[in-house]
Amino acid sequence: MTDVQTETPAAPEVAVAPKANPVAWPLGLAGVVLVIVGSFLSWSYDGTILNDLSIDFFPGGLQILAIVIAVLSLVLLLAAKGPLAALGSWLDATLGLRTFGTGLVLYMALVLVAISVESEGLINVNPGGYVTLVGALLIAVSGWLLPLRQLRNMKAAKLPGWVDILAIAVLMGSLLFLAAYALGLEDAWSFILCLVFIATAATGLFRTGAMSWVAQAGQRNRKVLTLASFAVAFLFPFTQDGSDANMSIATSVLVFAATAMGLNIVVGLAGLLDLGYIAFLGSGAYVAATLSQSAFATIGWKPPFLVVVLVGALVAMLLGLVIGSPTLRVSGDYLAIVTLGFGEIFRFAMFNLDGNNGPNLTNGPNGIPGIPDLELFGFNFGAVHHPFGIELGRFSNYYFLLLILTGGVILVFSRLNNSRIGRGWVAIREDEKAAEAMGVNVFGLKLLAFAVGAFLAGLAGTIKAHQDGAVSPDQYIFLESAFLLAAIVLGGMGTIAGVLLGATILKLLPEKLRFFSEYRLLLFGITLVLMMRFRPEGLVASRRRQLEFHEDDEHLAEVVENELVEEAK
């Protein structure tokens, strides 16, 4: 007789939340106290470096930034265990503390390195610097000792509408303050440390989930977010105290951003790799120069600037159609080579139209200097103005004009992106053969993308010529096209915020880090390699684009599907 053994069903496993290390919370709290106390003490014996961190009980700008990170860490500690525990069920305090602590350790390490390099030795570091570094280490250790927890979905948070608007206002105000502070830093080390602070704060807030909720608030109040963004951009020149140096950088960023937004239509939406796009910007600039009041202008017709803008944009669009018509039947690497050749042809044509090798239109390599400042409706863009008693110089005037242009370009891009044409471009980008099989006019839409992108670049070029005061062929080399493309890849193809961010980074950093100019291309290459490895979708990527590079992420796929369902409703 065989014994029959019956298996009793195993009891279901119950997920038990991991317990926090009992020393984690006290360590974090001690770290916050040490960072704040240390920031009120002197960091450096030499008061001439890092904007003077040598005074006790009078924290400098960099010390205040450390205090800000400490306060954010304190909020997360109180959310993990304390009076803000209800907030802790929504925010990931553990990941936030890890990010804030690690970033602050890096920040303080760079502070010590900067003081050592600038004043020849760590002996010039005062006790406050070491106290703050120890505090940062304690915050980081506390974050790594705290366990990860299952959180609620931030999208489910229901708060009054005024809280959403307040969050948007705080975010925009913080961006305005940080932009004004960062551009006001003339010392390269101080600027680098400010960038580390911004990266730490932004990454930490994203990892806690706070920025996800702010993004949802922005989606619920899109008009408020748009108005707030342009209000901050409009107010920026009023924070610069008439500084032409900073406003010159800001205007360069806007020209670069408006041009990159046009290229974003070609590359980001339609998926057409254009390596000669800078030629369209140059064509608009040369049209404005030759029709200007400059003594070196070669065309006698001097129409009003509004007519010049239209002519320059149409000429650029015509060039887009000329280069697009015979070449858009090829794709991929072949299209890239053709457009690269077009960019070089344009530059050499500007060299040769000097009266010797061809008609005298561009003065050859000498270009067209002496382009006068614009004057529209009695407003002289070259004069200094004092609205509300605040000095606004020449570059501030052009900044406002370029801001209007950038707003118009963004409006065109967003309307096209959300239209039937935009969906056709995306279909071509995803699979050209499948789009053609479904009845999409592939060649017509590709040609339209080239024409619209060229038109927008031509608009930016006409203003750039007057802002720079001169045009020459050397301004429109292949490297500029490469940087435009890099801004889109770095920021996020097919997005507005991503391209603006990418353009700002690639234009701002070289200007503020001139001591690193010899290694500019090396740093640029390393950045792109790291981006392609760790975040190929860009810094600010759309959910669909993100899913293309992370097909195995089931959670992301579920999020995208839910968003598409919400949009359909």
189-236 pLDDT, tens digit per residue, is 888 899 999 999 999 988 888 887 887 788 788 888 888 888 888 988
User: What pLDDT, on a 0 to 100 scale, did the predictor assign at position 561?
Assistant: 57
213 with 303, same domain: the answer is no
Among 157, 326, 318, 180, CA closest to 240 = 180
Classify residue 226: in a domain, yes or no: yes
pLDDT tens figures, 269-312: 888 888 889 999 999 999 999 998 888 888 888 889 999 999 99
Q: Which range of residues forms the domain containing residue 546? A: 541-569
Which of 148-162, 268-282, 317-331, 490-504 shows the lowest mean pLDDT across its residues? 148-162
379: DSSP letter? E
Which tokens go with 413?
């891009």
Classify residue 304: in a domain, yes or no: yes
149 with 51, same domain: the answer is yes
Q: Is the pLDDT assigned to residue 40 strictly greater than 90?
A: yes
Classify residue 549: in a domain, yes or no: yes
337 with 434, same domain: the answer is yes
Cα 220 to Cα 497, 500, 507, 556, 558: the distances in Å are: 17, 22, 32, 21, 21
Cα 480 to Cα 282, 465, 475: the distances in Å are: 11, 16, 8
Which tokens go with 125?
């570091």
284 with 224, same domain: the answer is no
How many domains does the chain divide into? 3
Determine contact, residues 309/464, Cβ cutoff 8 Å: no
Which tokens go with 233?
């951009």
Classify residue 466: in a domain, yes or no: yes
User: What is the rounded CA–CA span in Å between residue 269 and residue 496?
Assistant: 11
pLDDT tens figures, 78-134: 888 777 777 767 788 888 899 999 999 999 999 999 999 888 778 888 999 999 999
pLDDT tens figures, 160-171: 777 878 888 888
Which tokens go with 470?
């001169």
277 with 217, same domain: the answer is no
314 with 220, same domain: the answer is no
183 with 317, same domain: the answer is no
Classify residue 253: in a domain, yes or no: no
563 with 469, same domain: the answer is no
User: What is the rounded CA–CA span in Å between residue 393 and residue 399?
Assistant: 10
Q: Which among 445, 475, 505 is the end of a domain? A: 475
Q: What is the total residue count of the chain? A: 569
pLDDT-above-70 percentage for the chain: 89
As a whole number, the mean pLDDT across the chain is 84
425 with 300, same domain: the answer is yes
User: What pLDDT, on a 0 to 100 scale, did the predictor assign at position 18?
Assistant: 54
332 with 188, same domain: the answer is no
Q: Which among 475, 503, 529 is the end of a domain? A: 475
Task: Say how many C-beta atoms besides its own lie within 10 A of residue 366's C-beta.
Answer: 13
Classify residue 241: in a domain, yes or no: no
96 with 157, same domain: the answer is yes
Determine contact, residues 116/122, Cβ cutoff 8 Å: yes
Classify residue 326: in a domain, yes or no: yes
Among 407, 415, 410, 456, CA closest to 234 = 407
Classify residue 358: in a domain, yes or no: yes
Q: Which among 424, 450, 475 is the end of a domain? A: 475
Determine contact, residues 294/370, Cβ cutoff 8 Å: yes
266 with 171, same domain: the answer is no
Helices (H), 184-304: 188-208, 210-220, 222-235, 244-264, 278-290
